[in-house]
Chains A and B, each alone.
Chain A
């Protein structure tokens, strides 16, 4: 999957995922943590994560731990890219445009 900046089809589930990351844009979240924040089913969540990563909005890496010493498998952590942060902010700004606070 390419890492270029690409248009992403926005849906309510996609917005929930982005909202979970925008709470603290520097956080690195695993799929299980995103599930706990946005309460999306795994059948919906993981395709969205892969789609945003392919669009260049997210980057992912393996957790840097020793699974044997930690006693659990390493997790895949997702993080917003600067491009993803900018595009997600624009998306939410467009939703708030014209709305009185």
Chain B
């Protein structure tokens, strides 16, 4: 009973495999192959042999289907028999395997792309690309410029003059006492010092003047006689100048060069430079003043 059931099972499985395999084949062959394979299946004696036939038929469908596709492609190309390639195809259908077909498809795709580039499809795309760049102005206020504070220029000629304390002591008498009232003597304010309190010292920022812009050069007033004698020296001249830089009195030689000719040239230079002196300033205001400055007579210059 068990062997009969096994035979029945293998017969049914083999029959199902054959029928299913035959239906997987292309349509013109499926009915024929089903009947043919079932007839061959009936001739097999053992159940195992029938099962092998069913499996083999299932496997055969892959080969049959592949060859059927190749034959279909070959038939389609044989219709183009007037071309040499198609004629070769019809005579050698087996040469056009799947790889050859793929190669032909890729080659045709490349040819289409090259043809498109040659015709000008590419130029249309190129024309679409913008050739000019448009700059959009953004109406946005610019941030305020950063202004760095200019550092104060140091004035190297500044001298601080501290005035001495005044020698005059002023005593302020108190006002008369009110009439009809008792006068209360207020005790003097005790101070921690030995003497009376001093007024605070007044500081004056004084900048001494001197030869300014446009003052003549010593070379122009070098006495020719002193040049011939090759006399050189430095003369110190005192000059009194008003607020506009002009001499208010005759300049004087404070320190001689040792040469009368050079001293005369120094005085002539000092007089010629009237109006070009820089006035002395106190707290930034020009004032009349007298100061000394030196004039160098040097043949090397």
Produce 1/0 per residue, B30-59, CB < 8 A to A: 001101111110111000000011011111
B interface residues, tally (CB under 8 Å): 28
Cross-chain contact A76 with B35 (CB below 8 angstroms) = yes
B interface list, Cβ under 8 A from A: 29, 32-33, 35-40, 42-44, 52-53, 55-60, 63-64, 67, 71, 75, 92-94
Whether the pair B40, A75 counts as a contact (CB closer than 8 A) is yes
Are B39 and A42 in contact, CB atoms less than 8 angstroms apart? Answer: no
> Which one of B36, B37, B92, B93 has the greatest number of beta carbons of chain A within 10 Å?
B36
Report how far A6 CA is from B59 CA in the complex, Å.
Answer: 25
Which interface class (under 10, 10 to 19, 20 to 34, 35 or more) fits A? 20 to 34
Contact A74–B35 (Cβ < 8 Å): yes
Chain B interface, >50% SS class = helix
List, in ascending order, chain B residues with CB within 8 A of A54's CB: 67, 71
Chain B positions within 8 Å of A73 at CB level: 35, 38-39, 42
Q: Judging by beta carbons under 8 Å apart, are B92 and A7 in contact?
A: yes
A81 to B247, CA, bound (A): 147
The listed residue with most B CB atoms (<10 A of its CB), out of A6, A7, A42, is A42
Interface residues of A (CB under 8 A from B): 1-2, 6-7, 9, 30-32, 35, 41-47, 50-51, 54, 63, 72-76
Q: Cβ of A45: which chain B residues have Cβ within 8 Å of it? A: 56, 60
* Interface pair B67/A51, CB less than 8 Å apart: yes
